[in-house]
Amino acid sequence: MKTYIYTATDAQGKTVRNAKLQAEDANDFLRKISEKGLYCSNYREAKGKNGNSIYKFKTAELSVNCRQLSAMLNAGLTLVRSLDILAKEQIKDGPKQIFREVYEEVQKGTSFSDSLKMQGGAFPTFMISMVQAGEASGQMDIIMKRLEENYLKESKLNNKIRGAMTYPIILAVLSIIIVVALMSFILPTFKDLMTEEDMRGLTGFLFAFSDSLRYYWYVYVIGVVVLIFGIQYALKVPSVRFKFDKIICKMPKVGPLVMKVYTGRFSRTLANLYSAGIPMVESLERSAAILNNMFIEDAFIKVVDEVKQGEQLSASIQRTGIFESMFCSIVYVGEESGALDSILAKTADFYEDESDSAIQRLVSLIEPVMIIIMGAAIGTVIGGILPAIYNSMANLAA
């Protein structure tokens, strides 16, 4: 599906500008515009990445929308009527347009899940899978309630991660600002006090670095921009991304803390998908994919193959060496008792609580490192300048 941005006028003469519409091609777009009773004066194809939707819902938005749908469906409203109300209640233009298109597709007889899928990635695959299960079981209100709870928990976890990382990021920015200020404004004021003999070793290096910052600052700016885009490009290369994700999972101290976050998210997703009636193989594939970690996804290719051949899930996961033994034991108990979905849901609660502690411990590891780096940078400048200043003062006194 492609996204088209258009300007059109309705039968009452009201003009709509920069509206969006999903269509297969230009002919399909013009047909849909005609069905809406609009006269299109201008349109163009939106250049989203890989043809995806130019708007993607955040977890907090998905939680609110799922809660509203669940409440309306539980109150006895039809899905079409619920989507119509939901589209009208959207504040932003992007979500309003997307839900309006979903409403129109469902009204024409398209399934709800297919209508969501047609929005070019605006909705996550996990939500689409859950909606498909709700359509098959006829329990759409219950599925929407589960989706609300899932995205609410995920939103809270994301907020905690962002909040916890705020202080280390501020320290890093301050370190850079202090070093640049020292080198660009303070250090040059001492240059006239220095003799040729003083301008050696560390002191000479610092003054050379200071001059380069003052006169060739644009080279550093270009270097930083190239580095950022280079890293982003490198992480899009599958082999590089695989190695990076593996390092994150296996890194001493950091790896176990990150894996607790992954375990909680994996447990919650698998519990929701499996309890909704989605086959175990598909549930495993989607649960691994939602972690956005190529190292884990690659390991679960073998897990899925073994489960297809009748292998126990707990034993197959244990062999990957990714998740800790306690989690594998819990999965084993769930398989033996026939209550895997409920046990996974409780396990997700436990690991999500552990994730809070893991995030705090991860930040507690980062903070001292940032303080040490900032102290080392300032200490290097002072260590290179003070001896030279003392020597200059001694020469003047002599």
pLDDT in tens, 163-175: 877 888 888 888 8
Give residue 225's pLDDT band: very low, low, confident or very high (50, 70, 90): very high
| Same structural domain, 325 and 379 | yes
Give residue 396's pLDDT band: very low, low, confident or very high (50, 70, 90): low
Q: Which of 301 and 27 is assigned the larger pLDDT?
A: 301
| Same structural domain, 290 and 256 | yes
Query: Which pLDDT score is estimated for 134?
Result: 87
| Same structural domain, 264 and 381 | yes
| Same structural domain, 149 and 238 | yes
- Last residue within a domain, chosen from 103, 123, 143: 123
| Same structural domain, 77 and 168 | no
| Same structural domain, 357 and 254 | yes
Query: Which pLDDT score is estimated for 11?
Result: 75
Residue 13: strand, helix, or coil: coil
Query: Which pLDDT score is estimated for 244?
Result: 92
CA 145, 146, 151, 152 dihedral sign is positive
Query: Which pLDDT score is estimated for 49?
Result: 43
Q: Which of 303 and 1 is assigned the larger pLDDT?
A: 303
Query: Which pLDDT score is estimated for 243?
Result: 92
Query: Which pLDDT score is estimated for 397?
Result: 60
Query: Which pLDDT score is estimated for 228?
Result: 93
Domain holding 45: CATH number? Answer: 3.10.20
Query: Which pLDDT score is estimated for 53?
Result: 58
Average pLDDT of the segment spanning 313-337: 88
Average pLDDT of the segment spanning 180-195: 78
- Last residue within a domain, chosen from 89, 123, 157: 123
- Last residue within a domain, chosen from 86, 101, 123: 123
Whether 18 has a pLDDT exceeding 80, the answer reads: no
Q: Which of 154-168, 236-250, 336-350 has the highest mean pLDDT?
A: 236-250
Least confident range from 18-32, 80-94, 274-288: namely 18-32
| Same structural domain, 94 and 196 | no
Residue 18: strand, helix, or coil: strand
Query: Which pLDDT score is estimated for 184?
Result: 83
| Same structural domain, 221 and 342 | yes
Average pLDDT of the segment spanning 288-317: 87
CA-based R_g, the chain, Å: 29
Q: Which of 271 and 387 is assigned the larger pLDDT?
A: 271
Whether 68 has a pLDDT exceeding 80, the answer reads: yes
Query: Which pLDDT score is estimated for 47?
Result: 55
List the alpha helices (DSSP H) in the chain.
26-35, 59-74, 79-89, 93-107, 112-117, 125-137, 140-181, 201-215, 217-234, 238-250, 254-275, 280-289, 294-308, 313-320, 325-337, 340-397
- Four-point Cα dihedral 242, 244, 246, 250, nearest 10: 180
Host domain of residue 67:
55-123
Whether 310 has a pLDDT exceeding 70, the answer reads: yes
Query: Which pLDDT score is estimated for 72?
Result: 93
Give every strand in the sheet of 2-9, ordered side by side.
Answer: 15-23, 2-9, 39-45
Average pLDDT of the segment spanning 81-90: 90
Q: 3-state secondary structure string, 212-248?
A: HHHHCHHHHHHHHHHHHHHHHHHCCCHHHHHHHHHHH
Least confident range from 34-48, 262-276, 284-298, 369-383: namely 34-48
Q: Which of 355 and 248 is assigned the larger pLDDT?
A: 248
Structure tokens at 206: 């610092």
Nearest Cα residue to 338 out of 265, 266, 275, 273: 275
| Same structural domain, 188 and 321 | yes
Whether 1 has a pLDDT exceeding 70, the answer reads: no
Average pLDDT of the segment spanning 100-110: 87
Domain holding 276: CATH number? Answer: 1.20.81.30
| Same structural domain, 137 and 276 | yes
Query: Which pLDDT score is estimated for 50?
Result: 43
Q: How many domains does the chain have?
A: 3
Q: Which of 19 and 142 is assigned the larger pLDDT?
A: 142
Query: Which pLDDT score is estimated for 135?
Result: 87
Whether 6 has a pLDDT exceeding 80, the answer reads: no
Structure tokens at 76: 């006895």
| Same structural domain, 67 and 32 | no
Query: Which pLDDT score is estimated for 231?
Result: 92
Give percent above pLDDT 70 in the chain.
93
| Same structural domain, 180 and 302 | yes
